């Protein structure tokens, strides 16, 4: 068991369009010497969708290494913890090797984070699985969502580590109306996306359900938006730059920008603001 000591600890609000309206992530800025069990216990205690631990990198290209834990397990990659941890690391005095970017090492590999004036952006990692969902799994999701096949515009695996699948519904209104029975898909990692009316500030509404890692609904999900962005922009279903709103049903107002470069690289951007600074004894 690790000898308890004081460590720097922050909470960062990510993808917030106004204070305390995004998705918080808890960040321990020195995760050295902690056991897997000790990390998991804290992640369960914070009761946030993710808690992260910053560690020294193991490869020279990286500025730091990140472990990302949910209340029920560990993820190889996640989007809002990536941006939130980058902000926390910079706020804590971290000095990246390059002035315009940060390189994060995680179980999924190296992830580049760009620094903007008011936002941070991460480059979407490669998808580990894509293509249409099989009929049996789609039937499970539709049953859990309480919808029929005629309401599904499209569906796709968009897995970049956590195991995401997504269905597209005709409208944002239908996405917001979902009352999923997650007991029917207890191990799922699944999202729903639908279009807002023309002229809206956001092109799409997203909802993300992750009972597979103990998170019934995530207020704002960067990794899901990354995989969906790769899918929608590569097929021409969405323009090369668009905004997504998320968290509405949870009383949040997250705003996520998705942009595809000419070479196909998809960037997921948003605000990341440190809201809590202090120490924690671990």
- Tens digit of pLDDT for each residue in 23-62? 999 999 999 999 999 999 999 999 999 999 999 999 999 9
Catalytic residue from among 50, 105, 205, 257: 50
pLDDT of residue 75: 95
* 257 belongs to the catalytic site: no
CB 14 within 8 A of CB 269: no
**Are both 180 and 213 inside the same structural domain?**
yes
Do 79 and 201 share a domain, yes or no? no
CA dist 26 and 223 (Å) reads 17
Q: Is residue 184 part of a domain?
A: yes
- Torsion of the alpha carbons at 68, 74, 75 and 76, rounded to the nearest 10: 90
Residue 272: CB atoms within 10 A of its CB come to: 26
Contact (Cβ atoms closer than 8 angstroms) between residue 10 and residue 272: no
Considering the domain architecture, whether residues 219 and 105 belong to the same structural domain is answered as no
pLDDT of residue 259: 98
pTM over 0.75: yes
Measured CA to CA, the distance from residue 115 to residue 113 in angstroms comes to 7
For 177-204, what is the mean pLDDT?
Answer: 98
CA dist., res. 201 & res. 22, Å (int): 17
45 Cβ contact partners less than 8 Å away, ≥ 6 residues apart: none
Residues 243 and 198 in one domain: yes
Q: pLDDT exceeding 90 applies to what percent of the chain?
A: 96
What 8-state DSSP symbol labels residue 98? B
Give the domain range for residue 170.
135-266
Cβ atoms of 176 and 250 closer than 8 Å: no
Q: What is the CATH number of the domain that holds 92?
A: 3.10.310.10
Indicate the number of domains in the chain.
2
Q: What is the pLDDT of residue 3?
A: 87
Whether 129 is covered by a domain: the verdict is no
Cβ partners under 8 Å of residue 200, min gap 6: none
Same domain, 102 and 167: no
159 and 183 fall within a common domain: yes
Burial 55-75 (b: 16+ CB within 10 A, else e): bebeeeebbbbbbbbbbeebb
20 with 50, same domain: the answer is yes
């Amino acid at each position: 068991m690790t000898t308890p000591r004081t460590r720097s600890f922050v909470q960062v609000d990510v993808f917030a369009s106004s204070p305390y309206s995004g998705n918080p992530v808890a960040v321990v800025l020195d995760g050295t010497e902690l056991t897997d069990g000790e990390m998991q216990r804290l992640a369960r205690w914070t009761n946030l969708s993710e808690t992260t631990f910053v560690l020294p990198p193991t490869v020279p290209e990286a500025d730091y290494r990140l472990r990302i834990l949910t209340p029920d397990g560990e993820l190889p990659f996640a989007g809002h913890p990536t941006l939130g941890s980058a902000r926390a690391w910079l706020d804590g005095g971290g000095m990246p090797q390059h002035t315009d970017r940060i390189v994060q090492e995680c179980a999924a590999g190296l992830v580049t984070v760009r620094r903007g004036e008011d936002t941070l952006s991460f480059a979407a990692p490669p998808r580990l699985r894509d293509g249409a969902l099989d009929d049996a799994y789609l039937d499970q999701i539709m049953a859990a969502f309480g919808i029929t096949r005629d309401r599904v515009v499209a569906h796709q695996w968009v897995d970049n580590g956590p195991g995401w699948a997504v269905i597209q519904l005709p409208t944002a209104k239908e996405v917001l109306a979902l009352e999923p029975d997650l007991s029917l898909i207890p191990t799922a990692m699944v999202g729903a996306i639908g279009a807002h009316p023309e002229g809206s500030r956001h092109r799409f509404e997203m909802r993300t359900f992750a009972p597979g890692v103990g998170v019934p609904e995530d207020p704002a999900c960067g990794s899901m938006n990354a995989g969906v962005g790769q899918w929608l922009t590569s097929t021409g279903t969405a323009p090369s730059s668009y905004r997504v709103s998320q968290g509405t049903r949870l009383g949040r107002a997250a705003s996520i920008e998705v942009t595809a470069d000419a070479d196909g690289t998809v960037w997921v951007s948003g605000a990341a603001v440190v809201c809590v600074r202090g120490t924690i004894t671990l």
